[in-house]
């Protein structure tokens, strides 16, 4: 089973500075809103990633919190496990805020959709440390073509954020800044574009659990059910 990725760098790996990143954003439109329209003012020291605690009309769920469990998960079992046994679904808060418990592991979604052009890759980096001590996105690498497609036909994709709070509880409000995407130029465009060509359904995801968990049409219990909740990932 594949458990790690190897990243190869030729020479010195230098991310795009603010000026070059803004030029790339003008040429390629790196950020889109939930309706698929180009978004503005999200490029500075990287592309700003804010959290979505409103959700959309497809689902009232805005986050998942991992439950403590001594059950193992076999990674080669697809659509096998009931999410209720492993995850607590967090509905849209009335006041637009949630509290991340100390030591808790959460899945959240970005407010905006992001795109990675084929001749670039990106990496999620830490949020503003003044917000508190927590880590965002354990799988922080974004492949060329993420939210972009083979020719720029995709108007961005939601980033699913893996978040763990340390030391103290963290108060998150809708659109709080939780991380930044740093863009790096590739030596060349990939032969296989991220998405269908590598059997990944993250390409046009919403808030999603991994592929080991059942799709919503296969079960119904405890509020993690219904045809509008997207649980399919790759």
Q: Tens of pLDDT along 89-125?
A: 999 999 989 999 988 889 999 999 999 999 999 998 8
Mean pLDDT of all residues belonging to the chain: 79
Instruction: Say if 224 falls within a structural domain.
Output: no
Percent helix, strand, coil in the chain (nearest 5)? 10, 30, 60
Q: What is the pLDDT of residue 116?
A: 93
Q: Could you count the other beta carbons within 10 Å of the beta carbon of residue 85?
A: 13
Query: Minimal CA–CA distance to 102: which of 172, 163, 166?
Result: 166
Q: Is residue 231 part of a domain?
A: no
| Domain carrying residue 209 | 18-218
Residue 154 sits in a domain whose CATH number is: 2.70.40.10
In a domain? residue 6: no
Comparing 67-71, 128-132, 147-151, 174-178, the range with the smallest average pLDDT is 128-132
In a domain, 131, yes or no: yes
Considering only CA atoms, which of 9, 23, 15 is closest in space to residue 46? 15
pLDDT of residue 228: 27
pTM: 0.80
Q: Is residue 1 part of a domain?
A: no
Note the pLDDT tens digit of each residue in 25-70: 989 899 998 888 888 768 888 998 899 998 876 678 899 999 987 7
Q: Report residue 229: phi and psi, to 5°.
A: -90, 120
**What is the pLDDT, as a whole number, of residue 120?**
93
In-domain check, residue 229: no
Q: Tell whether 196 is covered by a domain.
A: yes
195-215 burial: b if 16+ Cβ within 10 Å, else e: beeeeeebbbbbbbbbbbbbe
The torsion defined by the Cα of 58, 69, 220 and 211, in degrees rounded to 10, comes to: 60
Domain count, the chain: 1
Where does the chain have alpha helices with state H?
18-28
The SS3 call for residue 21 is helix
Specify if 198 maps to a domain: yes
């Amino acid at each position: 089973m594949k458990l790690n990725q190897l990243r190869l760098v030729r020479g010195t790996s230098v991310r795009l500075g603010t000026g070059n990143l803004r030029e790339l954003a003008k040429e390629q439109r790196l950020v889109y809103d939930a309706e698929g329209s180009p978004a503005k003012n999200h490029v500075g020291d990287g592309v700003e990633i804010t959290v979505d605690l409103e959700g959309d009309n497809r689902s009232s769920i805005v986050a998942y919190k991992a439950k403590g469990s001594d059950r193992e998960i076999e990674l080669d079992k697809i659509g096998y496990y009931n999410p209720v046994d492993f995850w607590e679904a967090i509905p849209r808060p009335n006041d637009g805020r949630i509290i991340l418990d100390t030591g808790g592991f959460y899945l959240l979604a970005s407010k905006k959709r992001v795109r990675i052009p084929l001749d670039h890759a990106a990496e999620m980096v830490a949020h503003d440390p003044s917000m508190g001590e927590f880590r965002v996105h354990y799988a922080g690498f974004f492949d060329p073509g993420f939210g972009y497609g083979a020719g720029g036909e995709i108007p961005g994709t939601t980033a699913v954020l893996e978040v763990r709070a340390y030391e103290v509880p963290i108060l998150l409000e809708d659109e709080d800044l939780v991380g930044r995407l740093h863009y790096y130029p590739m030596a060349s465009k990939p032969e296989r574009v991220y998405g269908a060509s590598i059997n990944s359904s993250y390409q046009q995801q919403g808030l999603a659990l991994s592929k080991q968990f059942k799709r919503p049409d296969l079960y119904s219990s405890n509020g993690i059910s219904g045809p509008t909740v997207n649980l399919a990932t790759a």
